[in-house]
Structure 1
Amino acid sequence: MSLSLTAYADIGNISAESAILVEQGSMRVLYEKSAHEKMPMASTTKIMTTILLIESGDLNRQLTITNEMLAGVEGSSVGFRAGNVVTCADLAYGMMLASGNDAANVAAIYVAGSLEKFADMMNEKAAQIGMMDTHFVTPSGLDADEHYSTAYDMALLASYAMDNPIFAEIAATTVHPITCGDPAQTVYFSNHNRLLKTYEGAKGVKTGFTKKSGRCLVSYAERNGVNLIAVTLKAPDDWNDHKSLFDYGFSVLKANEIKAELPVKSISIAGGAPDNISIEAQPAVLALLDGEKEKITSNIYLPKFVYAPVCQGDIIGRIDYYLDDRLIGCAPIVASQDSAGEPASEKSLLDKMIYWFYMLLCW
């Protein structure tokens, strides 16, 4: 869903060859300019490398950097040396703040065993996220044939990554110390993303630059319940581009609390005491334009019964909210009270299988 710009305030001149602004909750497009054109994306690539490192396991894991891991590293570097003992967290901060190509190569080989195998992982994850016009070759974003993405795909990646609280915390960090080397030395990584200090609500995510790609920037900002993602590729004036995009997004979108009316106020509890408890819908916060709140529709997914025990606050069902037949948000339906249960052994296996099959269908 792309919104007409002519109905709203002038967004100004965007210098980027390719750009997009989306509302994260629904991923609907607020502004786009050649957003599906395949282009190099420089070090914004490290968003993918970092999220794969995070998903590979505990960031407190230690590793020893080898010559193989540093072979062929070019461009920006945090200064890792063979023999340094670092943590995966050091690599993540080294990539996201200092944009270290050495950190990216080390992470790739540590996770996958080789740069080639890691590129396969990157492309598999891209397919899972829905990045249909993206192909990764390098973990750092250094220029390579067939290494490309689009502004739209990078917005998908940013949304996926920022949903991970560990990644989001790293991306929002302005300065981070690491200690390594022999003798041990403490080095401070500073985040290259100046929006973190100059734009209210900015929370990340990554800068990038090569001669071929030009200035690339993926950024995220939130204000008053509205979450926006902006991407620019080959943008001579990227900082101002993003400020203009965010200013526009926050001027036209406002957070609205929506709470659908449930068709029933209670639900039966099998094997519980009491055997019927009250339920309530939790509110959803949706970023909407003026006049859209009245157009919201909903689908309610609620089983006919649930098995005890049930605790107050347990999720019983779900409400999906739609705008013009597009899913833009959801909220849980929860139990408003407890219901103590009979011993699990008294429930037949068949009963439980039927119940969970029904719940899966509803969910």
Structure 2
Amino acid sequence: MKTKRFLSVFFLALLLVGQLAVPAQAARVSDPSVEAKAALLVDRKTGAVLYAMNEHDELYPASLTKIMTCLLVLEAVDEGRLKMSQEVTATPTALEGLAEDGSTAGIEAGEVLTVEELLYCLMVVSANEAGAILAERLSGSVESFVDRMNAKAEELGCEETHFMNPHGYHDSQHYTSAWDLYLITRAALEYPMFMTICDASSHTVPATNMSEERVLNNTNFLIRSGREYYNADVHGVKTGSHSMAGNCLVTTAQHASMDLLCVILGAERTQDEKGTWWTYSFVYTDKLYNWAFDNFSYQTVLKEDDVAGEAPVSLSSTDHVTLRPATAVELLLPKGTELEELEKTVTLKSDPAEAPIAEGDVLGSMTVSLDGEELAEVDLLAYTSVEASRLRILWRDVKNFLSTTTAKVILGVLLALAVVFGVWRLLFSRRRSRYGRGRGAGGRRGGYRGSRKRR
């Protein structure tokens, strides 16, 4: 699926106060101040990190684990190994060991639900049993499914993740990081059904063989109209909480043309002096989104038809070729940033580039930086074609051949033969000179002898 594309990346800079890592671009605006174990805010369009705090710390994810479970099920559906309409029977083994006080949709052993309905139970009300039932159905056992979870995490580039179950029950060896959850969620969002399910504020499960229809209400209060945390810009994704993990939340939000993803891990839930309980995973998520929408905007840094520099050319009567970006570059920058403040650095693949050159050939790349931090990199293409000179190519080939070991050996042999031949000629000429003295015409000794007359 991968095609040429530029990747837009904000590297993190460590601040001196608060152990807060924030990119230099975000440091141009005021600190939104989030009190949690970890937090991450990423622009989905460009990959720019707008806010990051302890994003690589290994922490307990609680039910955010179910994002990976859902991803693997949707992957199986996409590959034809499961169908959304396929019926699955809850087995006693799948329900073994589940805590009675855990999140549940009330599914019992022997009950039959479709894969789709199980996913709604998993993601809307965070039903632990739904995760175990799907895991067993897909991999034969929960243990085998967990192995697949860890393999998928490694495949996605997760470096601070290890799963022990498909639902998020606490285990000291069950952990992940805010950054890895971003990678996992990003992969899940490639399946349209993922957001359809996790963005449902409520869902009605049809009657089954063991239950009448049941209404599921989403545990994410940011997407439930009428709740105190409701934000119309927010969509999905998943809540999670237990005493060791704190309150955790992954969401996305779209506002105007911006599309962001936020991860909060380990936020508190406290009661104020009026007796009102506040879940700060919702509070800080809302705060980060509003901070980003108020302080950042997209700017087009390069257009596809822009002149992005020149590359010297050899083997042609033309001495240079104009360069253009392979694609337009749009960055999410602090409002008020002037394009003149951006630093653009061109790196050529070869200097000079050798003709012939076809229009669109990749000849180098350009990095775009702000305050010393690299924001984006884009390939640079030849604006036009450049023909080669046959004579210059011939001369190049001759010089290249003469510089090879084979050519040097041949020249050495010819030189040696020339020396031998020269020595032989010299010796031969001396020998002829030595034995040829006093000989007349015809090689006979002495001078001319006339014929004697007979009398």
Match of 1:250 among 269, 293, 296: 293
SS at match of 1:56: helix
Code of the residue aligned with 2:200 in structure 1: it is T
Code of the residue aligned with 1:225 in structure 2: it is S
Encode CA deviations 1:129-165: one digit per residue, 9 max, x unaligned.
Answer: 1111111111000101310011111122222222321
SS at match of 2:206: strand
Q: Give the Cα separation in 1 of the matches to 2:250 and 2:185.
A: 7
SS at match of 1:234: strand
Closer, same or farther in 2 for the Cα pair 1:181/1:328, shift >3 Å? farther
Q: Percent identity?
A: 29
Report the equivalent of 1:177.
204
Cα contact 2:112–2:209 (8 A) shared by 1: no
Closer, same or farther in 2 for the Cα pair 1:282/1:64, shift >3 Å? same
Report the equivalent of 2:119.
92
SS at match of 1:216: strand
Report the equivalent of 2:65.
45
Cα contact 1:26–1:327 (8 A) shared by 2: no
**Structure showing the higher strand proportion among its residues:** 1
SS at match of 2:104: coil
Report the equivalent of 1:239.
282
Matched, 1:19 2:39: yes
Report the equivalent of 2:28.
7
Report the equivalent of 1:206.
238
Closer, same or farther in 2 for the Cα pair 1:253/1:163, shift >3 Å? farther
Matched, 1:67 2:92: yes
Q: Give the Cα separation in 1 of the matches to 2:103 and 2:223.
A: 21
Q: Give the Cα separation in 2 of the matches to 1:146 and 1:191.
A: 28
Code of the residue aligned with 2:49 in structure 1: it is V
Which sections of structure 1, spanning at least 5 residues, go unmatched?
A: 264-280, 306-316, 332-363
Shift of 1:216: 0.9
Report the equivalent of 1:289.
334
Q: TM (normalized to structure 2)?
A: 0.60
Report the equivalent of 1:261.
305
Shift of 1:54: 0.8
Shift of 1:41: 0.6
Higher-RCO chain (CA-CA 8 Å, sequence separation at least 6) = 1
Closer, same or farther in 2 for the Cα pair 1:160/1:322, shift >3 Å? farther
Shift of 1:20: 1.4
Equivalences, count: 303
Report the equivalent of 1:32.
52
Which sections of structure 2, spanning at least 5 residues, go unmatched?
A: 1-10, 13-22, 78-82, 225-229, 269-279, 308-325, 348-356, 380-455
Encode CA deviations 1:78-114: one digit per residue, 9 max, x unaligned.
Answer: 0111222211111111111000000010111111111
Q: Give the Cα separation in 2 of the matches to 1:194 and 1:146.
A: 29
Q: Give the Cα separation in 2 of the matches to 1:172 and 1:36.
A: 27
SS at match of 1:185: coil
Code of the residue aligned with 1:43 in structure 2: it is S
Code of the residue aligned with 1:21 in structure 2: it is L
Code of the residue aligned with 1:81 in structure 2: it is E
Structural RMSD (CA): 3.2
Q: Give the Cα separation in 2 of the matches to 1:81 and 1:51.
A: 24
Shift of 1:284: 6.6
Cα contact 1:214–1:234 (8 A) shared by 2: yes
Structure of greater Rg: 2
Shift of 1:27: 2.6
Code of the residue aligned with 1:110 in structure 2: it is R
Cα contact 1:296–1:321 (8 A) shared by 2: no
Cα contact 1:321–1:327 (8 A) shared by 2: no
Cα contact 2:32–2:287 (8 A) shared by 1: yes
Cα contact 1:43–1:209 (8 A) shared by 2: yes
Q: Give the Cα separation in 1 of the matches to 2:234 and 2:259.
A: 10
Code of the residue aligned with 1:241 in structure 2: it is Y
Cα contact 2:368–2:377 (8 A) shared by 1: no
Matched, 1:122 2:126: no
Code of the residue aligned with 1:206 in structure 2: it is K
Shift of 1:17: 1.6
Shift of 1:321: 8.6
Shift of 1:25: 2.4
Closer, same or farther in 2 for the Cα pair 1:328/1:59, shift >3 Å? farther
Q: Give the Cα separation in 2 of the matches to 1:292 and 1:97.
A: 44
Q: Report the more deviating stretch, 21-30 or 205-214.
A: 21-30
Q: Give the Cα separation in 2 of the matches to 1:124 and 1:20.
A: 24
Shift of 1:251: 2.1
Closer, same or farther in 2 for the Cα pair 1:224/1:322, shift >3 Å? farther
Q: Give the Cα separation in 2 of the matches to 1:139 and 1:329.
A: 38
Shift of 1:224: 1.7
Moved over 6 A (4+): 281-284, 296-299
Code of the residue aligned with 1:201 in structure 2: it is D
Closer, same or farther in 2 for the Cα pair 1:321/1:251, shift >3 Å? farther
Code of the residue aligned with 2:303 in structure 1: it is K
Cα contact 1:21–1:245 (8 A) shared by 2: yes
